[in-house]
Amino acid sequence: MATKKIYSIKNPLIWTIIFVTFWSTITGVFDVIIYNNFTNQKAALTFPTTTGKVLNSKVESERDSDGTTYRAEIQFEYSVNNQAYTSDTYRFGTMGMSDSTEANNIVREFPVGANVTVYYDPTDPQRAILKPGVSDSDRFMLLFLTPFNLIGLAGWSLIIQMLYIIIVKPVAGGISIRRKQTTADGKPANIVQVRLPRIPPILAAALGGGVVCFISIFIGGFFYAMAPPLGFIQIVWGIALVVAVAVFIWRSLVVGSGIKDLIIDHENKILDLPQTIGRTSPVLIPFDAIKDIKLKRVVSYSSEKKSETWAPTLVLKPGYDFQDEVEKNEYRTKITEMMFAYKAQALVNWLRTELALDNR
């Protein structure tokens, strides 16, 4: 009887928590900044007004290792209840831009000596701006942050799944397993269906919508200097939604069809491998052909980067022409490939029990 090896979930969980917490903290800071800008700019529309005068108006540039950024510097004076004030905030949450177009437009809009309408906070008259309301660049920042927020949400979803495995200890590491006692035409059967899609429908939908938003960042940044009009944002959100829904439906149909499932037919003693990792047609393997099931570490390289996956692998008896490879005088064929060793090993251990390999 082979000893069941157990890969710990704790190390990947710890590293995942560290990465996702760091990612979410950085993204969350920007989320809070953008949210505050939105609320402050909208609130400014209701501020009382007074007349002011522009004292200084110029474009400031700042160069660093990432390039040059440009910012409009507007200083103006105004009075509230006979109290004089000065401010250099023409709107809340201004940021430097890699293109000087918007900054030059602001300077032209507020030249030195011009009389301007000043919107001031009645509870704090020192807090005043010249341009209230949400701008195109504000909306663009929402679009900009969408892919990064989706990554954070996916990370926390993964952490929740890991914690579920640790606390509940589900069968086969939480992989969906369904048992059927009858076939589609009502005949008796003993079939186990192991759901092994590499990308779940909801994750695929988020990925599809996120890719649309990510591509639009470059389009909006290049053609509209990171301040595309509202119509552009609406079109992007519409396309992202359509793509996400379409991808979700497509992946749901694929998963629901069962072609990505591992089918264990105890009645006919046959293993039907999932159509993943390059398989495009059914591969049926008799129980008698299976000598063992092992976990294989699969290392791949792309663009000088190393990545690894974990493959529950069938070790076949000589004389059966089902193998993908021969290694150490063993005939092997991979069932699927998985991201985490602990989950792949949990599947291997469950399969060994399900196929009674531990008793051979």
Are residues 346 and 173 in contact, defined by beta-carbon separation less than 8 angstroms?
A: yes
Work out the pLDDT band at 8, boundaries 50, 70, 90.
low
Q: What pLDDT does residue 42 have?
A: 93
Can you state the angle between helices 201-224 and 230-257, rounded to 10 degrees? 160
Band the pLDDT of 359: cuts 50, 70, 90: low
pLDDT of residue 323: 60
Tokens coding 353:
């029990």
Mean pLDDT of 240-249: 95
Least confident span in 8-12, 216-220, 270-274, 283-287 = 8-12
Mean pLDDT of 146-157: 93
Mean pLDDT of 54-64: 90
Q: Band of the pLDDT at 199, cuts 50, 70, 90?
A: confident
Q: Match domain 261-359 to its CATH number in 3.40.50, 2.30.29, 3.60.21, 1.10.3470.
A: 2.30.29
Query: Residues 6 or more apart from 333 whose CB is under 8 A from it?
Result: 273, 283, 285, 313, 314, 316, 322, 323, 324, 325
Instruction: Label residue 329 by pLDDT band (50, 70, 90).
Output: low
In what helix (H) or strand (E) does residue 33 lie, and over which residues does it extend? helix 10-44
Q: Please, which pLDDT band fits residue 246 given cuts at 50, 70 and 90? A: very high
> Residue with structure tokens 């157990």?
6
214-233: per-residue pLDDT in tens? 999 999 888 887 788 889 99
DSSP 96: -
| Tokens standing for residue 109 | 């809009």
Average pLDDT over residues 261-287: 91
Answer left, alpha or beta for residue 258, where phi above 0 means left and psi between -120 and 50 means alpha: left
Q: For position 192, what pLDDT does the model report?
A: 93
CA distance 63 to 186: 74
Domain 46-132 = CATH 3.40.50: no
DSSP assignments along 271-313, one per residue: EEE-S-TT--S-EEEEGGGEEEEEEEEEEEEETTEEEEEEEEE
Output the CA angle 290-295-301, nearest 5 degrees.
Answer: 125
Distance CA 115, CA 121 (A): 19
Instruction: Decide if pLDDT at 3 tops 60.
Output: no
Whole-number percent of the chain with pLDDT over 70: 92
Question: What does the mean pLDDT of the chain come to?
Answer: 88
Q: What is the mean pLDDT of residues 132-154?
A: 91
Q: Give the pLDDT confidence score for residue 322 in this predicted structure.
A: 65
For 96-111, how does the pLDDT look when each residue is reduced to its tens digit (9 = 90+)? Answer: 777 778 889 899 999 9
Mean pLDDT lowest among 12-21, 78-87, 175-184, 287-296: 175-184
Of 116-125, 184-193, 348-357, which range is least confident?
184-193
Nearest to 85 by CA among 72, 98, 76: 76
Token pair 């700042």 is found at 62
**Domain residue spans in the chain?**
46-132, 261-359
What is the pLDDT, as a whole number, of residue 225?
76
- List all residues 6 or more positions away from 215 whose beta carbon is below 8 Å from its beta carbon: none
